[in-house]
Structure 1
């Protein structure tokens, strides 16, 4: 997928924040871009900012609605012919103590963040494979999926699932020409804090009203965050380099290292290995994607 010129990307949550940054970068690389988003106002603003009406298709889409996802995919193919890149970027968030979470809090976040990605893959992967021209699937996973912290249980659980989805799909699909990447940004100037404005009425019950109020009263820290353009260009680079993990912030190195080392330290070291078990289930004990990614990153940084 190094040759992006004239090919088509489908970006969910694409009309603001990270999604819009990705759309801008892919448009700049010569791609047609389908900008799918739940908010009409954001779609209108994105069309204005992106320009290039001949290369942009703005579609209103609730990623939890499978029928509408199919209709959006059909519209994209009607307009541009084939879809090559899927960016499962639409996301929402709630944060706060786990014991305050309601079923509605869990269902809303999981339906959008995980269910939306499932719907994207199930709807678009067969279409990408069918044209045989190769493709790329990117899940916006967040560093919360790799370095989770207390108070983010719902959000981080869903984002960790998105990381694992890409790690499982990568060895399955790479030989068939479809690369899968986990995009794990740190803080980005986005509108995810306002995602509650599109929360469905039937899932409106929340245990986080006070926690959300305290968050909003905490001040504006956008000056510390990367811009949508910066992360959009980072995703483009990750696509061009076939990266498994597309990361944005070096500040997470200590956390990533400590988590890996904690797992290594927890593996039983003094127990003899069962050679028959090890041989019989060899496919379960490692994945080639990690050695491949280590080699790729060494080459990229050389």
Structure 2
């Protein structure tokens, strides 16, 4: 989608951080933007920040818990009522839960999956039919993370859900390509946001079991100089929003903010190639028999 002016966009987790950066970028090119968030205080602050950026009245806001499927169905109607035909869906809401798999309990796991993975599917289920209905094409952006491509052992819950979002996005892209609907997996590295404030929104049904005994989440032990260096590698929410906007225009399969992670990505995929070895005859047979799985065209698209 190249011409985005006048197109409708819906962004979950849109009242702060990356989501608000997307809202600003979209509104600045004339899109009709609706944002949703679980926190009313963040929605109020977002409207103040949008007004300060000269975007007052150009972004609609609503409360939404992305894990509540009934509420999502009602939100789909509200989005169309406020923003007209929906063309861009950004499933951005998520929690940056920093827990290793060995220290997590059932409540931690269920909460991470409910928000980070089920929340994405709930958005697709509620709003993809609205994009399909007008027949004008569209685009879906699913916010994963660099932790959806590279593991970080102290955040196994987060890694598991974000790897799942990347796989979901790749499958959905192949599925929707014939309909003129693009799909991107957004894999940001460091972005200045409040994603680590996740415990403030933990529902009672996911109350942690023995959290105090398991200790606080992991932290980086960095000197002030190293923190300053790390800060230079992080993007602002506005920069991240502009990257997503360009990714939509380019129909990008992946959207990255952090090229400094390239060595890790190279190492991961080289490990896969080493494990596969070489057998060109078997490769050719597989391509002939299951072309939709082996050698998928979504990986061969021009950047």
Answer whether TM exceeds 0.5 for this pair: yes
Structure 2 residue matching 1:98: 3-state secondary structure: coil
For 2:94, the equivalent position in structure 1 comes to 91
Note the C-alpha offset of 1:110.
0.6
Determine if the alignment matches structure 1 residue 109 to structure 2 residue 112. yes
Q: TM-score, normalised by structure 1?
A: 0.91
Q: Does structure 2 conserve the Cα–Cα contact (< 8 Å) formed by 1:101 and 1:207?
A: no
Change (3 A) 1:160 1:214: closer
What corresponds to 1:78 in structure 2?
81
Alpha-carbon deviation of 1:136? Answer: 0.5
Map of 2:156 onto structure 1? 153
Map 1:235-254 → 2, pairs under 5 A: 235-254=244-263
Q: Deviations over 1:70-111 (max 9, x none)?
A: 111111111222111000000002223322110000011110
1: CA distance between counterparts of 2:133 and 2:174?
Answer: 18
Superposition map of 1:19-98 within 5 A: 19-51=19-51, 52-98=55-101
C-alpha change, 1:219 and 1:28, in structure 2 (3 Å) is: farther
- For the residues of structure 2 that align with 1:42 and 1:217, how far apart are their CA atoms? 30
Which consecutive unaligned segments of at least 5 residues does structure 1 have?
297-302
More moved, 249-258 vs 165-174: 165-174
Q: Deviation per CA, 1:233-289, whole angstroms, max 9, x where unpaired?
A: 111111111111001111110011111111111114359629766533333212101
Per-residue deviation, 1:165 = 1.0
Cα distance in 2, alignment partners of residues 95 and 211 from structure 1: 12
Deviation of 1:153 after TM superposition, in Å, equals: 1.1
Q: Which runs of structure 2 are paired with 1:180-191 in the superposition (5 Å)?
A: 180-191=183-194
TM-superposed CA distance for 1:219, in Å, is: 8.7
Q: Alpha carbons of 1:150 and 1:216: their partners in 2 closer, same or farther (altered >3 Å)?
A: closer
Q: 2:292 aligns with which of 274, 283, 289?
A: 283
- Cα contact 1:95–1:211 (8 A) shared by 2: no
| Partner residue in 2 for 1:273 | 282
For the 8 Å contact 2:98–2:217, the answer to whether it is kept is: no
Matched, 1:212 2:220: no
Contact 1:100 1:207 in 2 (8 A): no
Across the aligned residues of Structure 1 and Structure 2, the Cα RMSD in angstroms comes to 2.2
Query: C-alpha distance in 2, partners of 1:212/1:259?
Result: 29
Q: TM-score, length-normalised on structure 2?
A: 0.90
SS in 2 for 1:193: coil
1:15 alignment partner, SS class: coil
- Partner secondary structure for residue 165 of structure 1: helix
Q: What is the SS of the residue equivalent to 1:265? A: helix
Mapped partners of 1:207, 1:129: distance in 2: 46
